[in-house]
Each structure stands twice: as C-alpha cells, then as structure tokens.
Structure 1
C-alpha cells in the first residue's frame, strides 16, 4: 500500500490518499542524500565562499552536509551529468534519475506500515532524524542518524528530497508503477527537513508536498535512484 490510512495521526487529507501500488521493476536508491562534496565535484559549479572557514580551508563536515538550494531542474541536470559520465558502469538498460514517489516511499518504509520506519510514536524520531526539535536550526552531515532496514539514512528529516513526479492527486484504484503526471511547474518532495516539527506530520513516510520546480530552499535536497530506462519518462507510466 502507498499513502496513509484515514486515521493516521498527522495525515493531510487534502493531498494524501491510500491505494495499492505495485512496483514491477528492480531499482537502486542512494543510501544518503547527495552531499555537497558529491554535487560540486560533478556539477563543475564553484563551492560557495561561505563553506570556507576564516582561515580559507574547507571543513570536511560542511562538505558532508546534504546539498541544498537546488531546484528540481538542478537535480535532474545532475542526474543527466552522471548518465553522460557513468552510463557504461550501470546495469544494461538502467540510468540515474530522481526516484518516483512510489520508489521513494517503498524505500523509506523498508517493509513497515507505521508512520515512520522506526514506529508510530514521535519519540522514535530522535534516533533516526534531524528535525526541528533536535537539529539546532541547521542541516547536519549525512548518515549521522540510524538507518532503516534497507540501509537508507536520512529518509526522515535533515533535508526534504525532490522526486521526479509532477504534482498529481493520488488514484483510488490499484496501480502498477504509478507516477505523477508530467508537470513543468510543480514537483513533489518527500521526507521533511531539519526545520519540520514532528507533531504536524510532515516527517511521516506517507507525507508529501508539492513545490515549484524552480524553488530553492536551505531544507531542500535530493537522493539518487538508478532505474530502468523505460520508466525514466514519468508521464508515460501509471495512471491517475
């Protein structure tokens, strides 16, 4: 099942649903959100001056933070650059992309059906997530909290993550390989960030939100996926 039942605490009834969603293909998900070090090494963009210490040296911990302030287009361009350089090192017929919402939620839940992969109580979040009540108002290096059963870190909190899907209402009928419609102006984010207050529900496995594809925020990053080429064009898969 994808989404949240109607009685889940913190559910946003305006945007969330609950439906059966089968993923028919094998895929890979990044264990961490993409770090600043990874992003600037590949993108060719200059490292911002505020990443340097007063002595001019780069802090390794700062570079291990997830990259933020990237638009959906920036994230997709990063995937394109990876494919140009490393496509010959991927399984045949596969490519780098942002994950679909279905891939993201499946990977976040790691076989669980609770509000978070660690359970239903907000009390479990401190061990697995950076959020408003423990982050001291800042992002943190990737991988400092406990991972889920699939080995993924930071799926709850630290930075919210772009998905490839355009904004779309959830379907009612069972779906296979569902993905939101193609939408140039709005795309989906998942996971919540360091600024997210647990009591409002934005850190849950099912929580979803749409943003302008051109938005840049200090709580917004992305995680890589590797998926079959035939599913890269999100608008051609699934139905709504």
Structure 2
C-alpha cells in the first residue's frame, strides 16, 4: 500500500507538532513536509509532491485562502487541499472551498476524524457531511448576490437534465450510493455524471459543484425543473 503524502501548513509550531505526531503515526500517512506560512507552500509542493495539503486558514503573511488560490491557479492537478479552521461557517472557509479546497476540518476535530478526512480526500471523496454542507449553504446565503446567481445559472445551463439532477444531489451533500438510489441509476453512472459535470464546468471537486448549485438557486428549487 502506498502511503498518502501529507504536507502540514500552520503558523503555530505546537499545532504542527501535534498534527505530525497524531497523523504521522498512521501506517498509511507519510508527513513529507511542514510550512509555517502560505508563502512557503508552492515551493514545498514542487519539492515534496504531496497528495494532500492540510492548510491553516489564518496565517500572518500569506493565509491559507491565498495559498489555495495560488495552487489552483497553476492549472496542474496538484494536491488535494483540506482547510484547517476554528469556525464551521466562515467567509474565508467558503472562499477557500470556492477556490478549490476539497473540504475542511475544525482544529478541535478528534484525531480519528482528521485522519479519515485526509484519507477520503486522497481517495477523491468529499469530506463535508450533509449537516456541514447545509450550514455552509446557510452562511453562503448571507453572501449571495444577484450577479453571482446569474453567473452560476449561466454555467449550470451547460448541463443536461440528468447532470443537473446529479448536481443538485451533490449540493445536498449526498454520497454516490445515495444519489444512485434516489435517481434510479448505478453508482458507476453517478460517477460518470459527476466527472462530466466537473469537466464541463471546469471545477476541481464535488464541493465546488455543491456551491455552484447553491449559487444558482437549484437547492431552493429542489429539482422542480426549469432553468
């Protein structure tokens, strides 16, 4: 079994030490580097080639949001990014997710759950539970604008009816198996639809599908139809 290569980014050396001790002890995790600021991330990613970056959102020089945006702007596949934060729903967390982070974990999350998040992200699975997704969407409602909704609807219009239904289900925080049951299709077909949605809309992951579906108002319509 190949170990998941993990890069830790946090300005607090005690937090980094704790994470390294906690995560590095797992047989399937290899800590390949540590950074104290977002300004160090790109060079480290190029040097140690991590699969996953565990990224603090608040750092004094270059924060986790900016570092996430810089990594995603490079255009290559790059590592998956999990944001570390002290708040469930926070504008910076939302912006990091929109920029391409694959999820987030709270700093007081139990070690086993942080490990699970790293493993799931490395495997290409979402790390946002339906409850957390709803909380994020409620927070996003306070930051929604007519311009954002119009742009989101314009992008969603590129999807076929079935893809649109899958996008709504992803936005509801459902796993592939749950989507397959609800839409009467196989899990393989769901995965194919998700891949096509990501490609058509030039998105990095399911979290971005969920946020776009919310921005477009699809979760409010809840599948009532019409563009």
TM-score (norm 1): 0.26
TM-score (norm 2): 0.27
- Structure with greater proportional helix content: 2
Higher normalized contact order (CA 8 Å, seq sep 6+, divided by chain length): 1
